[in-house]
Amino acid sequence: MASERLPAGVPIAELVDIHRHYVMGDHVVRALNGINLRIEAGSYTAIMGRSGSGKSTLLNILGCLDRPTSGQYRIGGEDVANLSDGELSEVRGQKIGFIFQSFNLIPQLTVLENLEVPLFYQGRVGAESRAKAEVLARRVGLEGRLEHRPNELSGGQQQRVAIARALMNDPLFLLADEATGNLDSKTEEEILGVLDELQREGVTIVVVTHNAKVAARAQRTVWLKDGVVESVEENLHRESSVAAQEASA
């Protein structure tokens, strides 16, 4: 079902010397100050850092919600750093899958309709989108909930809907912003399990978090400090996916 999935190791997102400066009154805040980062197909990356390190700004740039002041950002080989608002919308709609801390489902829509939203903006709503929504709902363990409203679901279930929604457009990578920040530890474990499973199936994942437990599930952790990449740690002792890695090796 993943039409655009690339072979593992191919760079799908590449940041080259990304700066993001905000003008606040008469001084300039350098939120990002020359970030270089490569996301390879099939990888699982955690981005960590204290508040003020530029984490959120980097997330916005990665998600094409914001444009860098300077630098190059290539997604699937295309430079998106200088695209127009409309073109960025297309990139978000076609190549990125968002998962948010507060789930961000649309309350007045049913689960099915929420799942269809990304395809709606691609003009791809219909029998195809419905079938796809059903498949993805089953995949994240939500069968039989398609006609429910978000407020009839638990937090964990809502986040499962959000994950399914993020997969609807076959994105190049999933971008998760504190995906488990609003969940209790048991549910957090479930959601992290879903992400692990997806990664095992070949989905590229980037998580932005300040939770070490979440970061520990990733293959590597990128540490930000003062708008630059301070260090990159490879997680040799991944908690749960070791077995899976062995299996795939």
Partner 1 sequence: MILLELVRTVRMGVKSLLLHKLRAFLTMLGMLFGVASVVAMLAVGEGASKAAQDRIQALGSTNILLRSKKPDVQEQNTSSNVWTAQVYGLTYDDLDRFKHTLPAAELVVPVRETHKEMRVGAEYQASYVLGTTPEYLTVTGMRVREGRWLTDQDDQRRTNVCVLGAFAAENLFPLDNPIGQSVRAGSDRFTVVGVLETLGRASGSVGPPVDECVFVPMSVSRAWFGDTSMKRTGGSMEVESVQLHEIKIRVADPAAVLDTARVVREMLSENHAKQDFTVVVPLELLKEAEAQKLIWNLVLGSIAGISLLVGGIGIMNVMLATVTERTREIGIRRALGAKKKHIVSQFLVETVVLSMTGGLLGVAAGLAGPILIETFAKMPTVALPQHWILSFGVSALVGVVSGLYPAVRAANMDPVEALRHE
Q: How far is the CB of 100 from partner 1 (least distance, A)?
A: 7
**Binding range to partner 1, per CB under 8 A, among 69-77, 107-115, 205-213, 222-230:** 107-115
Which helix (H) or strand (E) segment holds residue 191: the answer is helix 185-200
Among 70, 82, 122, 154, binds partner 1 (CB under 8 A): 122
Please tell me the count of residues contacting partner 1 according to CB under 8 A: 30
173, 42 in Cβ contact below 8 A? no
Asked whether position 98 contacts partner 1 by CB under 8 A, the answer is yes
- Name residue 24's amino acid: M
Per-position x/- string for 161-200, each x denoting binding to partner 1 as judged by CB under 8 A, each - no binding: ----x---x-------------------------------
Q: Quick one: 143 exposed, middle or buried, by C-beta within 10 A (0-12, 13-18, 19+)?
A: exposed
What contacts 177, CB < 8 A, 6 or more positions away? 59, 98, 99, 100, 101, 208
Asked whether position 123 contacts partner 1 by CB under 8 A, the answer is yes
Is beta strand 44-48 parallel, antiparallel or unpaired with respect to 205-208?
parallel
Asked whether position 83 contacts partner 1 by CB under 8 A, the answer is no
Distance CA 99, CA 38 (A): 20
Chain contacts with partner 1 (rule: CB under 8 A): 60, 63, 65-66, 85-86, 89-90, 92-94, 98, 100, 104-109, 113, 117-118, 120-123, 125-126, 165, 169
